[in-house]
Amino acid sequence: MGGKMSKKEKSSLLTAIVIGAGIRGSIYAQYAHIYPDRLKIIGVADPREFYRRKLQERFNIQDENCFSDWSEASQRDKMSDCVIITTPDRLHKDPAIAFAKKGYNILLEKPMAVNEKDCREIVTTCKENDVALAICHVLRYAPWAIKLRELIDSGVIGEVVNINHTEPPPGAASRCTECPSHIESKCPYSAKKIYLDQIKQGDVDFPVCVIAEKPTLESVTTALKTGPYGVCVYDNDNDVMSNQVVNMQFEGGATATLTMMAFTKSVCTREVKVYGTKGQLSCIATSCPVIQYFDFLTGQTHEYPAESTRMSGISGHGGADFHCIHSFVSSVANETLADIVTGPEESLAGHLLVFAAEKARKENRVVTLQPDGSYN
């Protein structure tokens, strides 16, 4: 969770600077609109003038607190209680280190960093400077996840123990907008279907808002013709896994399996199942989830409704985005780390698991993660 929190005069209103004014930074900043008596955005840094000015106008930020580069803000005397860092993944480490040394409490978008060394340096720096650090593993703040954890810890299910490469069709173009209609119309991953059909229906939300500053049929079409989102899914240099199964065995014999599928009927839906000696828990993560407990002895199913996710204008990840920023602000304001469930140690442990899984995949072998974080 980081070290002790910086002492300041007791006040329920926190101030924050947003570093990276894209979609993630804007989502977390929206909290200040919903609870203006709890959080005030007083600064913004982003090299893109459109997004920087958009956030500036939304929160009436003074010109002298608007920066084209985060380093300009970090060189100033401490300006606020917190900093919200939502830069691109590979640009997380340097601002996190710089602002931690200045004494800022930090809300950092995931991943913490893209390699183990940088992750450890961020954690160490935050501890040395006694600042709060929360990583935006937002789904861990979702009510269904918290309720699931409570049920597991209660012992209701007993112990958790051990019991594309595809070639494009002949004649396909490198871009969806240039692909022959008889091929594009039969492609389930056509960018024209995904983006243009949405904008034609008047929907300017995610994902079209990501590829065009002001989504219109013309701007989205241009983005597909010139940008990375219009490149054929079968003919690009994207090396991100489209599906993966990670098997994990823990001390004590408990096992866990993470199955990730990029292509599913339901978009971005998580399903969790936990099996114990007395029963099992299952949950499909939605904004209003119900956790089901099946009792092996009686054969009966019991339902445990989780707290409905409070949308409040921040609806990302089924409302989990709201709970993440809400918990961070509450923790910093109350000078307690109790509500931060993705602090330095917890997030570092998760990152190390991912790095170990990637090592196992690339080297085609079993990797053992040691208590000190090393692996062999």
- At 290-320, the pLDDT tens digits run 899 999 999 999 999 887 655 567 777 777 8
Query: Looking at residues 27-52, what average pLDDT do you find?
Result: 96
Q: Alpha-carbon distance 127 to 1, whole Å?
A: 9
Q: What is the CATH number of domain 143-164+242-308?
A: 3.30.360.10
Question: In degrees, to the nearest 5, what angle opens at C-alpha 33 toward C-alphas 27 and 37?
Answer: 130
pLDDT exceeding 90 applies to what percent of the chain? 64
Q: Does the pLDDT value for residue 209 go beyond 70?
A: yes
Query: Looking at residues 17-32, what average pLDDT do you find?
Result: 96
Point out the least confidently predicted range of 69-83, 88-102, 238-252: 238-252
Q: Alpha-carbon distance 127 to 45, whole Å?
A: 25
Check: CB of residue 98 under 8 Å from CB of residue 76. no
What residue spans of the chain are helical by DSSP H?
23-34, 49-59, 70-74, 93-101, 116-128, 143-154, 181-184, 191, 197-200, 208-211, 217-226, 320-333, 344-363
Query: Looking at residues 65-78, what average pLDDT do you find?
Result: 96
Query: Looking at residues 195-209, what average pLDDT do you find?
Result: 90
Taking the CA atoms of the chain, what radius of gyration do you get in angstroms?
A: 23
- Per-residue confidence (pLDDT) for residue 309, from 0 to 100: 58
- Per-residue confidence (pLDDT) for residue 252, from 0 to 100: 86
DSSP annotation of 228: G
Q: What is the CATH number of domain 14-136+323-350?
A: 3.40.50.720
- At 230-286, the pLDDT tens digits run 999 888 887 777 788 999 998 888 999 998 887 777 777 889 999 999 999 999 877
Q: Does the pLDDT value for residue 216 go beyond 70?
A: yes
How do 82-85 and 105-108 pair as beta strands? parallel
Q: Alpha-carbon distance 286 to 149, whole Å?
A: 16
Q: Does the pLDDT value for residue 9 go beyond 70?
A: no
Roughly what angle, to the nearest 10 degrees, separates helices 116-128 and 344-363?
170
Burial class (CB in 10 A: 0-12, 13-18, 19+), 332: buried
Q: Alpha-carbon distance 65 to 230, whole Å?
A: 36
Mean pLDDT, the chain, rounded, equals: 89
- Per-residue confidence (pLDDT) for residue 287, from 0 to 100: 63
- Per-residue confidence (pLDDT) for residue 301, from 0 to 100: 96
pTM of the model as a whole = 0.78
Q: Alpha-carbon distance 3 to 16, whole Å?
A: 20
pLDDT exceeding 70 applies to what percent of the chain? 93
168 vs 90, 235, 263, CA distance in Å? Answer: 30, 7, 17
Q: Alpha-carbon distance 313 to 310, whole Å?
A: 9
Here the tokens at position 228 are: 């990375």
Burial class (CB in 10 A: 0-12, 13-18, 19+), 197: exposed
Comparing C-alpha atoms, which of 240, 13, 255, 283 is closest to residue 148? 283
- Per-residue confidence (pLDDT) for residue 17, from 0 to 100: 98
Q: How many residues does the chain have?
A: 376
Here the tokens at position 314 are: 């921040």
DSSP conformation letters of 3-38: SPPPP----S-EEEEEE--SHHHHHHHHHHHH-TTT
Q: Does the pLDDT value for residue 6 go beyond 50?
A: no
- At 320-355, the pLDDT tens digits run 888 899 999 999 998 888 889 999 999 999 999 999
In the chain, what are the domain boundaries? Answer: 14-136+323-350, 143-164+242-308, 176-230
Same fold, 14-136+323-350 and 143-164+242-308: no
- Per-residue confidence (pLDDT) for residue 99, from 0 to 100: 98
**Residues β-bridged to residue 134:** 107
Which residue type is seen at 259? T
Comparing C-alpha atoms, which of 30, 53, 11, 374 is closest to residue 213? 53
Here the tokens at position 363 are: 């080297």
Band of residue 77 on the pLDDT scale cut at 50, 70, 90: very high
Check: CB of residue 17 under 8 Å from CB of residue 28. no
Burial class (CB in 10 A: 0-12, 13-18, 19+), 82: buried
Burial class (CB in 10 A: 0-12, 13-18, 19+), 109: buried
> Which of 9-18, 56-65, 179-188 tops mean pLDDT?
56-65
Comparing C-alpha atoms, which of 35, 101, 40, 126 is closest to residue 312? 35
Check: CB of residue 104 under 8 Å from CB of residue 80. yes
- Per-residue confidence (pLDDT) for residue 269, from 0 to 100: 82
- At 105-162, the pLDDT tens digits run 999 999 999 999 999 999 999 999 999 999 999 999 999 999 998 999 998 888 766 5
- Per-residue confidence (pLDDT) for residue 42, from 0 to 100: 98
